Structure 1
Amino acid sequence: MIPTTRIPVLMYHRIGDAHNDWERKYCVSPSRFAEHMDLLRARGWHAVTLRQFLDWLDGSVELPAQSFLLTFDDGFLGVHEHAAPVLQSLGWPATVFLVSTLVGKRDTWCEAHNPSGATYPLMDAHHLRELQSCGFRFESHTRSHPDLPTLDDDALGAELAGSRAELQDLLGSPIEYLAYPFGRHDERVVQAARNVGYLAAFSTRPGFNRDGMDRFRLRRLDVFGTDTAAALSRKIRLGSNDGSVAKSLKYSANRLLARMGLTAS
């Protein structure tokens, strides 16, 4: 085994049908999601569990090259309906970050962002327990999906601690990790997350995760509904949200120049 020195984390949101351009950014169709996973497998990538990823970050285990962590934000019903069967067929694990007060409801925070005002169903407790039995892991995405840096200290603590307590009560398992809503965080948010007992947190900043990284600023790659399987393959290889052919060619050219001892212009 050739051990990896860097691990990308993929971030999906809704798996389903998009009905306007705004939705197409963060909604991946079921057929495209299957194409994504099939191509990653064909190119030698394999998903690891959240526990394996964190143990690797701590230096207690080695993981093979082309390991990645698969995450879903929000807990949309499409994860259960469309993503889970694909992942079960591959034997791949995933982690879902849940909005605790909206389990079994809808993504009401999107009403103000989606031009159509449409919202979509989120998984309920039955769906979550079913996926737990299949190896899915669930963690916190706060209580109501707010912009955390805009909250006062009391509201911030309630969002972070309340979500942990509610999800632990619902699922009967420890809730130790957080994904910041909208990726928004600052030093005060980070300290508050530490204070209420989270062990690590995920941002939306792109790039690879490596040994020695700040555990409360872990990086993830956005997967868009417009990403073809080939574009996703380029993203995960480059550690970039830009999966264009031009980006890939520039990356390859810079690596070649580096090996030749030259500097790109």
Structure 2
Amino acid sequence: MFKLSKFLFGIILIAVLVFNFAAADTTLTDGSIADTVEHDAKVPILLYHNIMDDFDPKQSSVHISPKLFEEHMLSLKNAGFHTIDFNQYYDYRINGQPLPEKPVIITFDDGYSSNYEQAFPTLKRLDMKATIFILTGRMGAADDVTYPHFTWKQAREMQESGVIDIQSHSDLHPNMMQQSVGRVQLELRRSKYLIEKNLNKTCDVFAYPYGLYNNQAQEMAEKAGYKMQVFVGDKGVNEDDTSLRQLKRLTAFGNINGEQLIEMIKQNTEGH
């Protein structure tokens, strides 16, 4: 009986050791755990605006077709990129939290209805995420605007999905370099207040209208509570020493295919 007990104990011990080894091996090879970046990350931020067919090719910096947008997203996934949001990037920069391998941030400016109708379902289906910088003074606008804007209700749906994060692009899209101190304060603080009130979230990223800013606007944005500020630039990616007040974006033009998009990112990454 004693020998049988020792034999059974040995079998159980071996089984436990094999199970623990297998679990440890899975942890090491699981991309969501092992394939992370803890420092020296180079993070491209891509900029889109409106999604539509049949646009003037001269407006390819603003428009992209639904089919080509999906091609861009699939190309990013196939190239091994992982979409993150600005909260993740901030935690990486300030708190040392690791990022997934080959992180990228997808952004949209202005808050057009096509973001809700086209980009949102595509991103959700592909398990990707993006940030939309909205104009709070034009929510739901359909008249007297070039293209319609989505509503607060639609913004809440996207925000609550976890796919989209809503942040500020000002209230009415003025050139912040040409405004009085009072107007700059209004644009920064009113948009932040409306986003936080209507979406029950913290608004802490500001994207400058036209990508234009000066030191005064940057200081006022920081005092208003924005942790990060972004512009355009169309050159370079964001590294550990990039100022959080001057995060760079690359325009994803609507006249380049997915392969060209990946090449553009590669050229801007390798150049820094």
**TM-score, structure 2 length as denominator?**
0.81
Which residue is equivalent to 1:132? 159
Say whether residues 1:31 and 2:67 are aligned partners: yes
- 1:199 Cα offset (Å): 1.0
Counterparts of 1:1-265 in structure 2, within 5 Å, are 1=35, 3=37, 5-106=41-142, 119-135=146-162, 136-205=164-233, 206-239=235-268
Judge conservation of contact 1:107–1:122 (CA < 8 Å) in 2: no
Judge conservation of contact 2:84–2:129 (CA < 8 Å) in 1: yes
- 1:24 Cα offset (Å): 2.7
Cα RMSD, aligned residues only: 2.0
Judge conservation of contact 2:168–2:191 (CA < 8 Å) in 1: yes
Judge conservation of contact 2:133–2:169 (CA < 8 Å) in 1: yes
Which residue is equivalent to 2:6? none
| Aligned pairs, number | 234
Write out per-residue CA displacement over residues 108-152 of structure 1, whole angstroms, 9 at most, x where no aligned residue.
6xx7xxxxxxx1111111211111121111010001001000001
Judge conservation of contact 1:18–1:24 (CA < 8 Å) in 2: no
- 1:107 Cα offset (Å): 9.1
Query: Which structure has the greater CA radius of gyration?
Result: 2
- 1:22 Cα offset (Å): 3.7
Distance 2:134 2:154 in 1: 12
Gaps of at least 5 residues in structure 1 are: 112-118, 241-250, 256-265
Distance 1:187 1:86 in 2: 38
Say if 1:107 and 1:213 are closer, same or farther in 2 by CA, change over 3 A.
farther
Deviation >4 Å, runs of 4+:
none
Aligned partner of residue 219 in structure 1, secondary structure: strand
Judge conservation of contact 1:59–1:211 (CA < 8 Å) in 2: no
Gaps of at least 5 residues in structure 2 are: 1-34
Aligned partner of residue 241 in structure 2, secondary structure: coil
Say if 1:18 and 1:156 are closer, same or farther in 2 by CA, change over 3 A.
farther
**TM-score, structure 1 length as denominator?**
0.83
More deviation, 16-25/74-83: 16-25
Write out per-residue CA displacement over residues 19-54 of structure 1, whole angstroms, 9 at most, x where no aligned residue.
323433310100000011111111111111221111
Judge conservation of contact 2:51–2:118 (CA < 8 Å) in 1: yes
Distance 1:46 1:149 in 2: 34
